[in-house]
Chains A and B, each alone.
Chain A
Amino acid sequence: MQVEQQKNQLAINTSKLNLWYGTFQALFDIDLKIKQGIITSMIGPSGCGKSTFLRTMNRINERLDYVRIEGKVDIMGENIFAPEVEILQVRKQVGMVFQRPNPLPISIRENILFGHSIHTAGKTSKTEAEEIVESALQQVLLWDKVKDRLDLKATALSLEEQQKLCIARLLPVKPSVLLMDEPCSALDPKGTEAVEELLWELRGKYTILIVTHNMAQARRASEECIFMLMGKVVEHRETGEMFLTPEHKETADYIEGRYG
Chain B
Amino acid sequence: MNEKHSQPRRAVDFDRLNRAWYIDKAVQLLVFIGGISAVIFIIGIFVFITKEGLGFVIGDFSFSEFFFSQNWRPTSEKQTTYGILALIAGTASVTGLAMLIAIPFSLGTAIYIAEFATGKTREYLKITVELLAAIPSVVWGFIGLTMMNPLIIDLFDVPVGLSVLNAGIILGLMAAPIMTSIAEDALKAVPDRYREAAEALGATRWQVIFKVVLPAAKNGLLGAVLLGVGRGFGETMAVLMATGHSINIPGSIFDSVRALTATIAAELGETAVGSQHYQALFTIGISLFVITFIINLIADLIIRDVSKG
B215 contacts partner chain A, Cβ-Cβ < 8 Å: yes
Flag B201-217 by CB within 8 Å of A: 1 or 0 each: 11110010001100110
Query: Using Cβ atoms and an 8 Å threshold, which residues of chain A touch B201?
Result: 91-92, 95, 114-115, 118, 169-170, 173
CA distance A92 to B211 in the complex (A): 17
A256 contacts partner chain B, Cβ-Cβ < 8 Å: no
Residue of B nearest to A172 (CB): B201
CA distance A121 to B216 in the complex (A): 24
CA distance A100 to B197 in the complex (A): 11
B198 contacts partner chain A, Cβ-Cβ < 8 Å: yes
B2 contacts partner chain A, Cβ-Cβ < 8 Å: no
Interface residue range, chain A: 20 to 34
CA distance A118 to B197 in the complex (A): 13
B46 contacts partner chain A, Cβ-Cβ < 8 Å: no
Chain B: minimal CB distance from A123 (Å): 15
Residue of B nearest to A88 (CB): B202
- Which residues of A in the span 118-138 have a Cβ within 8 Å of any Cβ on B? 118-119
Given contacts A114-B211, A118-B207, A118-B211, contact A103 B197 (CB under 8 A): yes
One of A60, A89, A170, A173 near B196 (C-beta < 8 A):
A60
A98 contacts partner chain B, Cβ-Cβ < 8 Å: yes
CA distance A18 to B201 in the complex (A): 25
Tally of contact residues, B, Cβ under 8 A: 17
Given contacts A98-B193, A104-B212, A105-B215, contact A89 B202 (CB under 8 A): yes
One of B194, B196, B203, B204 near A105 (C-beta < 8 A):
B194
Contact indicator A58/B200 (Cβ below 8 Å): yes
Contact indicator B203/A118 (Cβ below 8 Å): yes
Residue of A nearest to B215 (CB): A106
Residue of A nearest to B197 (CB): A102
B118 contacts partner chain A, Cβ-Cβ < 8 Å: yes
A258 contacts partner chain B, Cβ-Cβ < 8 Å: no
A249 contacts partner chain B, Cβ-Cβ < 8 Å: no
B130 contacts partner chain A, Cβ-Cβ < 8 Å: no
B199 contacts partner chain A, Cβ-Cβ < 8 Å: yes
Chain B: minimal CB distance from A174 (Å): 11
Q: Which of A104, A166, A169 has the largest count of B CB atoms less than 10 A from its CB?
A: A104
Besides A60-B196, A95-B200, A98-B193, 7 other CB < 8 A contacts?
A89-B202, A95-B201, A102-B196, A104-B212, A118-B201, A119-B202, A173-B201
Could you pull out 8 A-B pairs where Cβ atoms are within 8 angstroms? A58-B200, A60-B196, A91-B202, A92-B201, A98-B197, A102-B196, A104-B216, A170-B201
